[in-house]
């Protein structure tokens, strides 16, 4: 079977692709940039139609992590790891453990230039297994002396970003009475849905896992069948699942005023940002919106402030979004272009962390 997506441009410092000696699984570790420091980016466990799709995902995600960490003001580069499963593969506990031991060996081979953490499909407990083979892992369970689960900080950053987007499109950041569609009810999307519901938002939600439908019932939200959620009229559309959701066809049919969500690489192609702008849909770049987790993990690992202070820094993501949206409007460019320029300036300078 040929891969379904073309491989992105190769701009990476180093990429390792292995077959895990214990698990027999495809594992890719992609270090995109260490210009600002040791790279930080999670480990994704996911099913792909072809091994090259898993590799392409690692390449795209690691490049996005460089942008994310730079715009977040972190002294951290960008990297990502992917454990790719063939379609139909179900891991038992032993093989899952073997997979993360194999990942730990791969991470260790980078000598500290790349630090991993949990991501889609992986957990804190998986990171504890990685930690048996390398010290270059963050987000370990509290019981193991780690910083715990990063989904809460990520969700907070998305919430503050969403309020900034609402201010720009409606004149107020109050979510009460606003129609918000959330595509993906995982660790981050689920937390966000609960908070928005409590504050009076009118929610339409969906997830590829039908078991998540119970959350819609608990929150009094409207459930949309997966693949139709973009047709629901909304003030903000929140992509919170796997990337690539916003294809040209989806953008053309999207019924919303703005897009703001935690999914990595939600645009199927870079030109999607211009396509959204041509339809008058405001787009808050994903790598700015979803940076709460890495801000939390990096500062916790480096012991830069108390948890309360670090969460305060996470909340400032909303201010970063406001600056980017204002800059984009003033210069007549897309918010994506403005955010990429902010990251590029930081990478060129190789400077200490940006002021808040």
Instruction: List, by residue number, the catalytic residues.
Output: 80
- Contact (Cβ atoms closer than 8 angstroms) between residue 291 and residue 315: no
| Dist. CA 199–CA 240, nearest whole Å | 19
- The pair of three-digit structure tokens given for residue 186, joined into one six-digit string: 């995982």
Q: Would you give the distance in Å from CA 353 to the centre of its chain? A: 21
- Residue 133 is given by DSSP the state T
* Rg of the chain (C-alpha set): 19
- The pair of three-digit structure tokens given for residue 118, joined into one six-digit string: 């949990």
**Secondary structure E strands in the chain:** 14-19, 26-33, 39-40, 43-48, 78-86, 114-115, 179-183, 202-206, 222-223, 236-239, 258-259, 282-283
| Dist. CA 351–CA 341, nearest whole Å | 15
Residue from 233, 257, 289 nearest 169 by CA: 257
- Residue 72 is given by DSSP the state T
């Amino acid at each position: 079977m040929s891969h379904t997506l073309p491989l992105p441009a190769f701009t990476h410092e180093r990429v390792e692709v292995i077959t895990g000696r214990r698990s027999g699984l495809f594992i890719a570790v992609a270090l995109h940039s260490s210009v600002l420091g040791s790279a930080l980016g999670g480990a994704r466990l996911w099913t792909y139609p072809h091994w090259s799709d898993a590799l392409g995902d690692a390449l795209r995600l690691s490049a996005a992590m460089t942008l994310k960490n730079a715009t977040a003001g972190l002294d951290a580069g960008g990297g990502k790891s992917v454990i790719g499963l063939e379609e139909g593969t179900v891991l038992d506990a032993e093989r899952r453990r073997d997979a993360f031991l194999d990942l730990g060996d791969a991470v260790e081979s980078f000598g500290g230039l790349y630090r991993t953490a949990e991501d889609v499909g992986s957990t804190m407990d998986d990171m504890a297994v990685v930690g048996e083979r390398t010290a270059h892992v963050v987000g370990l369970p509290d019981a193991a002396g780690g910083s715990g689960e990063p989904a809460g900080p990520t969700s907070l950053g998305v919430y503050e970003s969403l309020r900034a987007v609402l201010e720009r499109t409606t004149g107020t950041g109050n979510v009460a009475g606003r129609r918000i569609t959330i595509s993906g009810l995982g660790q981050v999307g689920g937390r966000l849905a609960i908070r928005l519901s409590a504050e009076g938002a009118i929610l339409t939600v969906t997830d590829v896992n039908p078991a998540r439908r119970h959350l819609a019932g608990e929150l009094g939200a409207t459930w949309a069948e997966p693949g139709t959620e973009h047709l629901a009229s909304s003030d903000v559309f929140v992509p919170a699942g796997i990337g690539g959701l916003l294809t040209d066809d989806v953008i053309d049919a999207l019924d919303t005023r703005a897009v703001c969500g935690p999914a990595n690489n939600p645009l199927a192609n870079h030109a999607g940002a211009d396509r959204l702008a041509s339809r008058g849909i405001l787009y808050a770049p994903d790598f700015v919106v979803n940076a709460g987790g890495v801000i939390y993990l990096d500062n916790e690992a480096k012991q830069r402030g108390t948890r309360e202070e670090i969460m305060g820094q996470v909340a400032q993501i909303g201010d970063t979004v406001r600056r980017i949206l204002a800059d984009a409007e003033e210069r007549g460019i897309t918010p994506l272009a403005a955010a990429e320029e902010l990251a590029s300036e930081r990478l060129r300078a190789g400077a200490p962390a940006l002021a808040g």
